[in-house]
Amino acid sequence: AQSVTQLGSHVSVSEGALVLLRCNYSSSVPPYLFWYVQYPNQGLQLLLKYTSAATLVKGINGFEAEFKKSETSFHLTKPSAHMSDAAEYFCAVSSNSGGSNYKLTFGKGTLLTVNP
Amino acid sequence: NAGVTQTPKFQVLKTGQSMTLQCAQDMNHNSMYWYRQDPGMGLRLIYYSASEGTTDKGEVPNGYNVSRLNKREFSLRLESAAPSQTSVYFCASRERGGGGELFFGEGSRLTVL
């Protein structure tokens, strides 16, 4: 079974401050990990993904995430928040083998607010 | 460049009515998915289709049925709608399982009175 836990349903930062959104996963096999972003009244779009290559993954809009197997974590960071980063962010996991590798399981989401 | 198209975008139903949400993708993807999104619950998988001709249950399949009509289309049917099915429904597709990127439609907002 696979699962994702996002710590903090709401994170608020000031413009220009560091953004850190936390994600921990559970998977019985090596995982694929994803971060998606959802702007109001839209579908989700991919920010970045980890597929067992480099453990530090760079995505769009200046975001990056680091896969840490020992901590079962895949936290999302951005050095300097911009007002346009305000959105809901979802971490997701997909397994790397077996019949369940088509399931993509999402966390409950973290709403990021950016204050001027 | 349509991507994943869902219809309808909005629907209001009375308890007990039935309806079908339609989804089509033009990216030649093998796998298709239906999720529901509820406040504080994230996205929960209802059903998925790994490839044409196959469908499997996700986390919350009760009250729903699906049909993978062909490679492009994957429909979700509510036979007897209940207020608990009030939600935003997203269809998504990807070329393959594992590390393949999931592409989402814009969502269908369903209200059951």
pLDDT at A36: 97
Q: d(Cα A11, Cα A106) in Å, to the nearest integer?
A: 18
Identify the contact set of chain A against chain B, taking CB-CB distances under 8 A: 6, 9, 32, 34, 36, 41-46, 49, 51-52, 90, 92, 94-96, 101-109
By Cβ distance, the residue of A32, A90, A107 closest to B98 is: A32
What does the pLDDT look like over B61-79, one tens digit per residue?
Answer: 999 999 998 999 999 999 9
Return the number of CB contacts < 8 Å for A and B. 64
Residue A95: partners with Cβ closer than 8 Å, 6 or more residues away: A2, A27, A28, A29, A31, A32, A101, A103, B98
* Coil vs helix vs strand at A102: helix
pLDDT at A100: 58
pLDDT at B22: 98
pLDDT of A28 above 90: no
Give just the sign of the alpha carbon dihedral A7, A28, B41, B52: positive
Give residue B37's identity as a one-letter amino acid code: Q
In whole angstroms, how far apart are CA A57 and each of B15, B19, B68? 46, 42, 34
Report yes or no: B101 and B72 within 8 Å, Cβ to Cβ: no
Give residue B39's identity as a one-letter amino acid code: P
**Averaged confidence pLDDT in chain A:** 91
pLDDT at A31: 85
The secondary structure of B46-108 as a DSSP string is: EEEESSTT--EE-S--TTEEEEE-SSSBEEEEESS--GGG-EEEEEEEESSSTTPPPEE---E
Q: How far is B97 from chain A (nearest CA, A)?
A: 4
* pLDDT by residue, tens only, chain B of 113 residues: 679 999 999 999 999 999 999 999 999 999 999 999 998 899 999 999 988 889 999 999 999 999 998 999 999 999 999 999 999 999 999 987 777 889 999 999 999 99
Bridge partners (DSSP) listed for residue B74: B68
Map A10-37 to HEC letters.
Answer: EEEEECCCCEEEEEEEECCCCEEEEEEE
Q: How far is B15 from chain A (nearest CA, A)?
A: 25
By Cβ distance, the residue of B43, B48, B101 closest to A102 is: B48
Both tokens of residue B48?
Answer: 């998925």
Give residue B71's identity as a one-letter amino acid code: K
pLDDT at B1: 65
Conformation bin of residue B46: beta by default, left when phi > 0, alpha when psi is -120 to 50? alpha
- Provide, as residue numbers in chain B, all residues whose Cβ is less than 8 Å from the Cβ of A32: 98-99
What does the pLDDT look like over A54-105, one tens digit per residue?
Answer: 889 999 999 999 999 999 999 999 999 999 999 999 999 987 665 556 788 9
pLDDT at A7: 94
Q: d(Cα A8, Cα A12) in Å, to the nearest integer?
A: 10
